[in-house]
Amino acid sequence: MTPTVDLADVVHRYGSTTALDRVTLRLETGVTGLLGPNGAGKSTLMRVLATVINPDGGTVRLLGRDTADADQRTQVRRQLGYLPQELGFPRGFTAFGFVDYLALLKEFDDRPTRQAEVRRALDLVGLRDVATTRVRRLSGGMRRRLGLAQALLGDPRLLVLDEPSTGLDPEQRAVLRTLLSRAAGHATVVVSTHQTEDVAALCDRVVVLDSGQVAFDGSVADLVDHAAGRVWVAEHPDPDAAAQWRTGTGLHRNLGTPPPGAHLVEPTLEDAYLLLRNDTARATP
Amino acid sequence: MSSWHIPEPTLRGWVHGRVDMVAAASVEQHLLGCPPCRAQVAVLQRSTPASGAVDLEQVWTAIADQVEPQPMPRLVRWLMRAGMRETDARLTSAAPALSTAWFTGLAVVLLFTVVASSFAPDRALVLFLMVAPLVPVAGVAAAYGADVDPTFELTLAAPYPKLRLLLLRTAAVAAGCVPLTVLAGLLVAGPWWVAVVWLLPALALVLLALAGSTFVPLGWATGGVAMAWLAVSVAPVVRQNPAALVDPRLLLGMGLLAALAGIVLATRLRHLATDWGIR
């Protein structure tokens, strides 16, 4: 089966900084979480997947089409939904007007069809009731959902969402997960996030980027396994731990080698991610 | 497998997407382990309203259209009257350079020039001849690009042709600001032809900026073109010599530049393999 996303040795630079360094990825239907520290290249990779930037090297095939070719790229864009990390809103637009404007850019030319699709998208994110409210009057969480609504227009086959849960409260994040898991039944959803709990709850697969390179690519369970036998709870912090913090119970969670008197606990995805980051940093000369 | 099954109205609501998120999650959870309910879903999905039956979805959409009419902005109506189709008119009208604020700012600048001309005619005239060709260039710069359009990232990821959007907005901005500037030119103290003589340099500068935008971002192209024109105009302005900016040799040069930029633009558009450069 042709993968929805097929990247081979993708390189992108900003001046002398290499943002993506020979990234090779093949993604199919389902939700893939993209994790990594700030500056790891996540947003650059998302912009490549959204056909916003042309990488300096390598090949990008999305939905079976080569994005280096203008016609094929346009075909990809017809089946693409994109939520950038930072989304601006034109002055004076209502929630409906904003999504309607994006629907025009997505070539919904027929007015009744377009307006029905805009209503559907606003319904999906629970913003139908504020359709006629000016965007500047909406809360940060509502604006993020509005951004998500425009990404869902046309039920795209490839959804590229850069930090979609930013600014959402727990209830809204649960709705987001429901939405994305539904979309993942027939689409490839790539979610860049700092929220490991979102990845654990939602994603079939996780990719960790570090310094522009793929540091991990596999299932969430595989990444969690990476931390098996390395997460300890003790009464005291371990100064040699890869990471440690005091939990709500008053005990200290230590990642790495066991401090005296510690007992082993089940790792979470966050533990595994932190340990992976620590291991990668140590391996880097 | 459970002996309980989802009531048909609920299942029908789920099929038509009319149940809330919580109910939908429950339905989906049940469907995962209940083949009879899944079979019922297939039946409901296949069924279509019988001839003469009322399609509730259609009725609801029609009601929603009436209850939530989306007003068409005045500018969109004007652009449609000028021959644009609705899609183009709406996308063009979103340009910041077509906002009331932009035109108000332009009107204030031109009004200031007109008023100043009654106190210091030569200085105002040369300032007008320097500024007027930059008005459409500024309009183009404020019509498209990452610096002025908050949805620009989404515009780049959308299938609508970027070049079409840029050219439509350029035409609309020119149609708005050129008459205003010509009117100011007529009011500035000086011969009548001052009101139109700047159009040739303006055309050259706009075409140069558009041609440049196929190589570098539009903001860079318009900025570079504006700087070049200011460099040409600075000496006449300092010497308060308006004649230098209407010198036939300068105008001939601008005409040649306009033709050259037009050829480059047309060639680039015809042979541009990708639209990565239109940004």
The values of phi and psi at residue A261, to 5°, are 75, 10
| B227-255 per-position pLDDT tens digit | 999 999 988 888 878 788 888 999 999 99
Q: How large is the C-alpha radius of gyration of chain A?
A: 21
pLDDT at B149: 86
Distances (CA, A) of A21 to A25, A43, A145, A214, B10: 12, 14, 32, 9, 51
Which one of B153, B214, B268 makes the best mutation probe of the A interface by having the most chain A beta carbons within 10 Å?
B153
How is chain A split into domains, by residue range? 5-79+156-217, 89-144, 224-283
Residue ranges of chain B whose CB lies within 8 Å of a chain A CB: 17, 21, 24-25, 61, 64-65, 68, 70, 85-87, 90-91, 94, 96, 99, 149-151, 153-160, 273-276
Buried (b) or exposed (e) across B242-265, using 16+ Cβ within 10 A?
bebbbeeebbeebeebbeebbebb
Look at residue B60 in the predicted model and tell me its pLDDT. 61
Q: Identify the H or E element spanning A32.
A: strand A30-35
Is a pLDDT exceeding 70 seen at residue B84?
yes
Longest dimension (CA), chain B: 96
Chain-centre distance for alpha carbon B196? 26
Whether B70 shows a pLDDT value over 70: the answer reads: no
**Cβ–Cβ below 8 Å for A54 and B17:** no
Q: Which residues are A243's β-sheet partners?
A: A255
Q: What is the share, in percent, of chain B residues with pLDDT greater than 90?
A: 18
DSSP at A250: S
User: CA distances (Å), A65 to each of A62, A279, B107, in order?
Assistant: 5, 36, 49
Of B85, B154, B276, the CB nearest to A54: B276
CA-only gyration radius of chain B, Å: 29
Q: Where are the domains of chain B?
A: 8-67, 74-271
CA dist A78 and A161 (Å) reads 16
- Report the pLDDT averaged over residues B163-177: 86
- pLDDT-derived band at B61, boundaries 50, 70, 90: low
Mutate to test the interface with B, among A54, A93, A104 (most CBs of B within 10 A): A104
Instruction: For residue A102, list chain B residues with Cβ-Cβ distance below 8 A.
Output: 151, 154, 158
If you ran DSSP here, which 8-state letter would residue A243 be given?
Answer: E
**Of B48, B26, B28, B49, the residue nearest B38 (C-alpha):** B28
**Strands A65-66, A30-35: pairing kind:** unpaired
**Chain B partners within 8 Å of A50 (Cβ):** 156-157
Q: Indicate whether this model's pTM tops 0.80.
A: no
Q: Give the bridge partners for A12, in sequence order.
A: A20
Distance CA B28, CA B21 (A): 10
Tens of each residue's pLDDT in chain A, 285 residues: 678 999 999 999 999 999 999 999 999 999 999 999 999 999 999 999 999 998 999 999 999 999 998 889 999 999 999 999 999 898 888 999 999 999 999 999 888 899 999 999 999 999 988 999 999 999 988 999 999 999 999 999 999 999 998 888 888 888 888 889 888 888 999 999 988 988 988 898 999 999 999 999 999 999 999 889 889 888 888 888 888 889 888 888 989 888 888 899 999 999 999 999 888 887 766
Contacts with A87 from chain B: Cβ below 8 Å? 150-151, 153-154
**Residues of A with CB below 8 A from B86's CB?**
109, 111
Least confident of A42-46, A234-238, B62-66, B111-115: B62-66
Of the candidates A85, A44, A74, A59, the one whose C-alpha atom is nearest the C-alpha of residue A3 is A59
Smallest CA–CA distance, residue B12 to chain A, in Å, is 17
Of B24, B91, B275, the CB nearest to A105: B91
Mean pLDDT of chain B: 80
**CB-based contact A132 B90, cutoff 8 Å:** no
Residue at token pair 């021959």 = B83
Percent of chain B having pLDDT more than 70? 85
Mean pLDDT, residues B12-29 taken together: 75
CB B229 within 8 A of CB B201: yes
The pLDDT of residue A259 is 82
Q: Which residue in the block uniquely carries the two structure tokens 């994040």? A: A173
Nearest to residue B136, comparing CAs of B90, B198, B80, B60? Answer: B198
Q: Specify which residues A5 forms β-bridges with.
A: A27, A62
Instruction: For domain A5-79+156-217, say whether CATH 3.40.190.10 is its number.
Output: no
Of the candidate ranges A14-23, B32-41, B260-269, the one whose mean pLDDT is the lowest? B32-41
- Backbone dihedral angles phi then psi of residue B119, each to the nearest 5 degrees: -95, -40
Gap from B202 CA to chain A (nearest CA, Å): 28
- CA B188 to chain A, closest CA, distance in angstroms equals 34
CB B196 within 8 A of CB B160: no
Q: Which helix (H) or strand (E) holds A152?
A: helix A140-152
ipTM over 0.95: no
Nearest residue of B to residue A51, measured between CA atoms? B157
Contacts of B99 in chain A (CB under 8 A): 91
Half-sphere CA count of B121, side-chain side, radius 13 A? 6
Between CA A194 and CA A91 the distance in angstroms is 29
DSSP letter (8 states) at residue A165: T
Predicted local distance difference test score (pLDDT) of residue A146? 95
Could B86 and A89 be called an inter-chain contact, meaning their C-beta atoms sit closer than 8 Å?
A: no
- What the block records as the tokens of B162 is 């970027």
| Mean pLDDT to the nearest integer, B13-31 | 74
**Contact state of B160 with A82 under an 8 Å Cβ cutoff:** no
Distances in Å between the alpha carbon of B171 and those of A251, A267, B88, B203?
Answer: 68, 61, 12, 12
Instruction: Tell me if B153 and A52 make a contact (CB, 8 A cut-off).
Output: yes
Confidence tier at B256 by pLDDT (50, 70, 90): very high
Contact A104 B87 (CB under 8 A): yes
Phi-psi region of A63 (alpha: psi -120 to 50; beta: other; left: phi over 0): left
Q: What is the C-alpha separation between B246 and B131, in angstroms, rounded?
A: 13
Identify residues of A whose CB sits under 8 angstroms from chain B CBs. Answer: 47, 50-54, 68-70, 73-75, 77-78, 80, 82, 84, 87-91, 96-97, 100-102, 104-107, 109, 111-112, 115-116, 119-120, 123, 126, 131-132, 150, 175, 178
Q: In a mutagenesis test of the A interface, which of B28, B75, B100, B151 is the best target, namely the one with the most A β-carbons within 10 Å?
A: B151
Q: How confident is the model at residue B52 (pLDDT cuts 50, 70, 90)?
A: very low
Predicted local distance difference test score (pLDDT) of residue B50: 43
Whether B252 and B201 have beta carbons less than 8 Å apart is answered as no
The reported pLDDT for the residue numbered B158 is 94
* Chain B residues within an 8 Å CB radius of A75: 159
* Contacts with A131 from chain B: Cβ below 8 Å: 68
Residue of A86, A87, A85, A65 lying closest to A74 (CA atoms): A65
The 10 Å Cβ neighbour count of residue A162 is: 25
Across residues B46-74, what is the average pLDDT?
58
Three-state SS annotation for chain B? CCCCCCCHHHHHHHHCCCCCHHHHHHHHHHHHCCHHHHHHHHHHHHCCCCCCCCCHHHHHHHHHHHHCCCCCCHHHHHHHHCCCCHHHHHHHHCCHHHCHHHHHHHHHHHHHHHHHHHHCHHHHHHHHHHHCCHHHHHHHHCCCCCCCCCCHHHHHHCCCCHHHHHHHHHHHHHHHHHHHHHHHHHHCCCCCCHHHHCHHHHHHHHHHHHHHCCCCCHHHHHHHHHHHHHHHHHHHHHCCCHHHHHCHHHHHHHHHHHHHHHHHHHHHHHHCCCCCCCC
A76, closest residue in chain B (CA to CA): B159
